[in-house]
Amino acid sequence: MPATAIILLSGGLDSATVGAIAHADGFALRALSFRYGQRHATEIAAAKTVAAALGTVEHVIADIDLRVFGGSALTDDIAVPKGAETAQEAAAHGASEIPVTYVPARNTIFLSYALAFAEARAARDIYIGVNAVDYSGYPDCRPEYIDAFTAMAALATRAGVEGQPVRIHAPLMEMTKDQIIRRGLELGVDYGLTRSCYDPDPSGAACGRCESCRLRLAAFEKLGMRDPVPYQ
pLDDT value at residue 84: 60
Mean pLDDT, rounded, for 86-114 = 71
pLDDT band at 135, cuts 50/70/90? low
23, 32, 105, 156 from 62: Cα distances, Å: 22, 7, 16, 21
Q: Give the bridge partners for 32, in sequence order.
A: 8, 60
Distance CA 14, CA 177 (A): 8
Q: Is residue 227 predicted with pLDDT exceeding 80?
A: yes
165-201 residue pLDDT tens: 999 999 999 999 999 999 999 999 999 999 999 999 9
Nearest by Cα to 149 from 172, 127, 168: 168
Nearest by Cα to 101 from 191, 231, 207, 232: 207
Identity of the amino acid at 38: Q
pLDDT value at residue 67: 83
Average pLDDT, the chain: 89
39-54 residue pLDDT tens: 788 999 999 999 999 9
Domain 4-189 is classified in which CATH homologous superfamily? HUPs (3.40.50.620)
